[in-house]
Amino acid sequence: MFVHGRKSGCRITLDYTYRGLPVAYLENDALAVGVLTGKGGDIIELTYKPRDVDFLWHSPIEPRSPFVSTVPQAEGAFHDYYFGGWQEVLPSAGWSDEPYQGAQQGLHGELALLPLNARVLEDSAGEVVLELSTRLYRSPLSLVRRMSLRDNVPALFIDETLRNEADQEFAVMWGHHPAVGAPFLDESCVVSAPASRVDVLDFHPNGLWERGEGFAYPLVPSRRSGEPEDIRRVRPPGTRSADVLRLTGLAAGWYGLTSQRLGVGLGMAWDAQVFPELWMWQGYRGHDDYPWFGRAYNLALEPHTSWPPSGVANAARNGTARVLGPGEVVETSLVAVGYEAESISAVHPDGSVEKGS
């Protein structure tokens, strides 16, 4: 990244565009972070600089602006503008044609398709802070996200404030959707998480896992072998499977995804009181239909408020939606950290990682 000015420590700029979309860059000695401020605040780069590893998956759908879909999809426009990386999902997740309080949200809600207001709150060698903010269109919600890097710390810190601006209750499905891909992702990667149970959604004909609820983590019956297998181990691209699972009964809000080939991993930590669910989207090139047609090899580990991923109206009905009271404000924090280890036993909110299994 070319910036006229400081060349060491923390750096930040709002001066660039990427294929017509405004983008902000944050950088320190350990991480480089690219953020599409013009589209949902998507994180499109999360590079661990000591090993030159960008953890995030890049979709075969290339960013371009302006872009107009040929015809509206019933599910909405999320996939037309899904370039990979890390999205924030709000106020609905998954797709349902059932409206909530009169509004249809489409796949993964509004936020990931909105431009955000961006401003720099701190710009020093010791710390940089980017603030992103927006008000949703179809929902009475406002969101402020502050993203920061600290000198010599390989962690991206995120602080968020979500506000219900209505004088009545409003239910949300809220989560983070970071998709990890090659060349970091391969069959040497292993997931670590303090879960106790696994549910498997009836998601795709090419699913690898038996549908059902309450499997004892980490073993789930395979639809192909008929035997329980460990879902923590990433499968190779030739598996040609596509699944969505829920890891639940979390003892704490954290996970790690470790490449045993590289000895490098990506960890996250969050408040499990706000995001008690951890979704796992396994896209091992099994999406042989729209929109990937066999081109997606990725894994997403997604902290969420709710389950199942089929629209906020359904989540409100089954009691897993987060119901915001009139004027309620929710504040929460997350951290994403790059680390070097062959296995880990915890990720903490301060960005520290406990190594060893």
Dump pLDDT digits (tens) for 270-292.
999 999 999 999 999 999 999 99
Q: What pLDDT digit, counting tens, does each position of 163-194 carry? A: 999 999 999 999 999 999 999 999 999 999 99
- 317's enclosing H/E stretch is helix 312-318
Asked if residue 225 belongs to a domain, the reply is: yes
Per-residue pLDDT band at 61 (split at 50, 70, 90): confident
Residue 32 structure tokens: 């480089």
Q: What pairing do the DSSP bridges indicate for beta strands 42-48 and 155-164?
A: unpaired
Task: Note whether 284 and 240 are within 8 A (CB).
Answer: yes
Looking up tokens 């405004």, which residue turns up?
A: 22
Asked if residue 2 belongs to a domain, the reply is: no
Q: Domain range for residue 265?
A: 11-352
Interatomic CA distance for residues 160 and 332, integer angstroms: 5
Task: Note whether 351 and 155 are within 8 A (CB).
Answer: yes
Q: What mean pLDDT comes out for the span 307-334?
A: 94
Asked if residue 4 belongs to a domain, the reply is: no
pLDDT at position 76 is 86
List the one residue out of 2, 84, 48 whose CA is nearest residue 281: 84
Helix, strand or coil, per DSSP, at residue 92: coil
Residue 345 gets the label, from left (phi > 0), alpha (psi -120 to 50) or beta, of alpha
Q: Is the peptide bond before 218 cis (omega within 30 degrees of 0)?
A: yes
Asked if residue 6 belongs to a domain, the reply is: no
Q: Is the peptide bond before 291 cis (omega within 30 degrees of 0)?
A: yes
Q: What pLDDT digit, counting tens, does each position of 64-109 carry? A: 766 777 787 888 888 888 899 999 999 999 988 899 999 988 899 9
Asked if residue 110 belongs to a domain, the reply is: yes
Number of domains comprising the chain:
1
CATH of the domain at 37: 2.70.98.10
Asked if residue 1 belongs to a domain, the reply is: no
Asked if residue 143 belongs to a domain, the reply is: yes
- 190's enclosing H/E stretch is strand 189-192
Interatomic CA distance for residues 27 and 151, integer angstroms: 9
Report whether pLDDT(5) > 80.
no
The gap from C-alpha 327 to its chain's centroid, in whole angstroms, comes to 26
Asked if residue 5 belongs to a domain, the reply is: no
